[in-house]
Chain A
Amino acid sequence: MSQTFRINEAQKKHLLDSLKKGVRFDGRKLDQHREVSIEYSISKSAEGSARVRIGETEVIAGVKLSIDKPYADSPDEGSLMVDAQLLPLSSPEFELGPPSIEAIELARVVDRGIREAKAIDTKKLCVKEGEKVWIVSIDICTINNAGNLFDASALAAIAALKDARFPEYDGVSIDYKKHSDKKLPLTKIPVAVTVFKAGSTLFIDPSLYEEQVIDARLTVTMMQNGELCALQKGEAKPLSIEEINQMIDLGISKAKELTKHIQK
């Protein structure tokens, strides 16, 4: 609808009490995602793209490929870049202008998950060592913010990578109009799930309203083999080691479910 109305202390207590009883405002369970859907190739202009919906939250990610000189310290590797835009289109709270710290954190957390998983074999992005490598640019654009942009964005990014095809390159110039059948060298599919703590309750996939009572969150990025490749703790309150372990467990089990959506 529009603005998020600020929760006051009494309302926060009311919500926390309800969460403690395992009841969420929309009737979901604490560990239940809203309906997840992934659409591929939603932008023919991009080399790869995907649209992810989690409930009413909607995010689009697009992949563009270009050729450039490699970094001096990795002359035989291509590189990856992730950028995120919290578009004013998607929420009355987002403004025009340079990226906010929220957008930057979102981009960096998604980036970390993909980079640290070594999801892309960057050596296979090399065209001519020391001279030409492929640069993979992922752009995340939010379309509707109904809560949990982190998970929707991470899923959209990896889905877009999965969708991506190299454009035709003759050694001199790229013909963006022609996509080859060659896919990106994607070796792993990292999937991120953010687990939230409010009061003493742990839960996932918060609505906008629930996001207001968060004490802390932990984004857990997992690869298909069950190993973790990235972690990000957010918000200001600290977490006990036991809580972190619980959150990781919950994150891993939900990541396994989300991975099924990607495999389809």
Chain B
Amino acid sequence: MGKLNVKENDIVVPGEVLAEGMDYLPSQGTYRLEDNVRAGMLGMVRIEGKVIKLMQLNGRYVPRRYDTIVCPVIDVLMSGWRVNTNSAYEAVLPIRDASSRFIPKGADLTKFFALGDYLVCKISNVTSQKLVDVSMNGPGLQKLEGGRIFEVNPHKVPRIIGKEGSMISMIKYATGCRIVVGQNGLVWINGEPDKEVIAYDAIRRIEREATLPGLTDRIKTDLEKKLKIKIESAQQFHEPQQQESQAQRDDSNKDSHPEEGGSEEEQY
């Protein structure tokens, strides 16, 4: 016996009773109090069989293993660099993980990455005390030159990237800009100034309307109008996933939005 008070995609507030009775099970973002399953944060309902969980809608980024993030260097150490992850925790990039090339002991590390450089890194480890290690060994991981950085809601990143990268690829194709979207909410754009504005506006719009259906088409129409081009179809931008981290990552990101994908593939 059990009574479900909510349906998929409902927005609920902390403490709200989502289900009554012992039939339903709490999971991510939900908890059991006496006989009820209640919301343990502000979020969007996801129901998988008898399991009720919540997808987070707002709040700071929390570092997770295998995430690809954009981060500025904030300190140069003896053994590597310290970077700002846009969370409550800084991360360390050890020398050995900084490059596929050999870096000799005693080398001037600022010749590789200096204070203020923006890097695309992968989180290699997060301890229980939230000590975070990052690595730049891997495809697509590198220093970002020039361009501009802005911040988006990290919980909208899957939507901005799109299913198998389709959304962000469409924007890159249409505007000709190089774009990197970090899981931590930092976005880097580099292109012609007026095209950058169009890409920026598109990304901000996805952020605002992330939970609404039909978004891909609206963005496509908008880009076509502003750039006076024709985009064949959004589907042409699907790109095969290169990282196996999809399987390793928390499921909650994959099955989130109606149209969105969970690929954290960065392309630029």
Residues of A within 8 A of B (CB): 1-3, 5-11, 13-15, 17-18, 21, 23-27, 209
Contact = CB atoms under 8 A, between A and B. Distances in A.
Counting from the closest, the 9 A-B pairs by CB-CB distance are: A8-B116, A23-B193, A18-B193, A10-B146, A1-B151, A27-B197, A14-B146, A5-B149, A21-B193
Interface string B116-160: 111000000000000000000000000001111111110000000
Interface of B: 60, 72, 84, 86, 116-118, 145-153, 185-186, 190, 193-194, 196-197, 200-201
Q: Tell which of B146, B185, B186, B196 has the most Cβ of chain A within 10 Å.
A: B146
A6 B116 contact: yes
A217 B256 CA distance: 46
Contact of A6 (B72, B86, B152, B153): B72
Select the residue from A1, A17, A26, A209 with max chain B CB neighbours within 10 A.
A1
Nearest to B60: A2
Contacts, number: 60
A21 B194 CA distance: 9
Contacts of B196: 18, 23, 25
A8 B148 CA distance: 10
Contacts of B152: 1
Contacts of A1: 151-153, 185
A14 B151 contact: no
Contact of B193 (A10, A13, A17): A17
Contacts of B116: 6-9
Contact of A23 (B145, B185, B194): B194
Nearest to A4: B151
Chain A interface, >50% SS class: loop
A44 to B, nearest CB: 30
Contact of B149 (A11, A13, A24): A11
B200 A25 contact: yes
A209 B201 CA distance: 16
A226 B229 CA distance: 47
B151 A10 contact: no
Given A1-B153, A8-B116, A9-B116, A14 B194 contact: no
A14 B148 contact: yes
A3 B86 contact: yes
A257 to B, nearest CB: 23
Contacts of A7: 116, 149
Nearest to A207: B150
20 contacts: A1-B153, A2-B60, A2-B86, A2-B151, A3-B86, A5-B151, A8-B116, A9-B116, A11-B118, A11-B148, A13-B146, A14-B147, A14-B148, A14-B190, A17-B193, A21-B193, A23-B193, A23-B196, A25-B150, A209-B148
Given A18-B193, A209-B150, A26 B145 contact: no
A5 B147 contact: no
Nearest to A28: B197
Given A14-B146, A25-B196, 16 more contacts: A1-B153, A2-B60, A3-B86, A5-B84, A5-B151, A11-B147, A11-B149, A14-B148, A18-B193, A21-B193, A21-B194, A23-B194, A24-B197, A25-B200, A27-B197, A209-B150
